[in-house]
Amino acid sequence: MTTAIAPTTHISPGSALRHGFTLAGRAVTKVRKNPESLLDVTLQPIIFLLLFVYLFGGAIQGSTDAYLQVLLPGLMVQNIAFASLGTGMALNTDITKGVFDRFRSMPIARSAPLIGAVLGDVVRFVVTLTVLFTVAVIMGFRVQTDPGRFLIAIALLIAFGLCLCWVSVFVGMLVKSPQAVPGTLVAFIFPLTFGSNVFVPSDSLPGWLQVWVDINPVTHLANAARGLLLGGDWVGDAGWAFLWGIGIAAVFFPLALRAYRKRVG
């Protein structure tokens, strides 16, 4: 049979990236239309901020203002971790709703929906950090350093989030429904974010817990963010956080890809 138009037989990496960006644009459109879908990365950080600063701030740090300065950089790390849940949920929703099959029946790269979901996560990262930072500034938080170091902090946080989101993709491919993604991942994120020095200084903790807190990537990233936003040493902690991120991605990127291929054929 002769065909009028020679069909596409090969998809270049450039096209794959273009398809990925188009699908990330879809994620942005969805956020714009359903702002309530971002409540978990907007309202929850605000509640955490208010709750911890005004309820525990005096007890932990002696004053709410002082506590806000120490807490905010760490809270930014925690919110990045929570925001990374979005990738797995978005992918799982598309698969269970049949949207994925529509994409898969089209001549686009197999990886495009994955690229789109991960880029869509960056949007969530930026939104959650913006909301958290704005509210903190209203409450009295001030960056003590310079815009350059502020941007390095943001870049580090987003880079770490992009490593974590492969855990989210992996879980999103394994569970049956989108709702199961946060349920499963919270068991991973809670020890990571609460078992750190985000909320309390690590020397106030029992020895065995200090051991974990001191190696926890969230502790290192929180320290680095504090250094970058408030002044002080940050390079060593940033290096450790970076290594952790690479390590997490090295384990979960292949696992996620394998689960993705298995799930979507």
Partner 1 sequence: MSYAIEAEGLVKRFGDTVALNGVDLAVPAGKVLGVLGPNGAGKTTAVRVLATLLRADEGWARVAGYDVVSQATAVRGIIGLTGQYASVDEDLSGTENLVLIGKLLGLPKAAAKARAAELLAKFELSDAAGRSVKTYSGGMRRRADLAASLVGRPQVLYLDEPTTGLDPHSRNEVWATVRGLVDEGVTVLLTTQYLEEADQLADLITVIDHGKVIAAGTPYELKRRTGGQSLQVRPTVAADTPAIAAILRDLTGIDPLVNADAGLLSTPVDNPMLLSAVVRRLDEAGITADEIGLRLPSLDDVFLTLTGRTTPSAPVAEGSLA
CA dist., res. 244 & res. 189, Å (int): 15
- Phi first, then psi, for residue 162 (nearest 5°) are -65, -30
Cβ 80 vs Cβ 161: under 8 Å: yes
- Kindly tell me which of 39 and 151 has the beta carbon lying closer to partner 1: 39
Site for partner 1 in 4-33 (CB under 8 A): 7-11, 15, 19, 22-23, 25-26, 29-30, 33
Q: How many chain residues touch partner 1 (CB under 8 A)? A: 31
Which residues neighbour 161 within 8 Å (Cβ) at sequence distance 6 or greater?
A: 80, 81, 83, 84, 121, 122, 125
Least distance between partner 1 and beta carbon 11 (Å): 6
Instruction: Give which of 88, 258, 260 is closest to 178, Cα–Cα.
Output: 88
Does 177 contact partner 1 by CB under 8 A?
no
Least distance between partner 1 and beta carbon 170 (Å): 22
Cβ 103 vs Cβ 22: under 8 Å: no
- What's the token pair of residue 154? 């943001």
Does 41 contact partner 1 by CB under 8 A?
no
CA dist., res. 118 & res. 122, Å (int): 7
Does 1 contact partner 1 by CB under 8 A?
yes
Least distance between partner 1 and beta carbon 125 (Å): 20
Pick the binder of partner 1 from 105, 176, 187, 206 (CB under 8 A).
Answer: 105
Residues near partner 1, by CB under 8 A? 1, 3, 7-11, 15, 19, 22-23, 25-26, 29-30, 33-34, 94, 97-99, 101-108, 112, 265
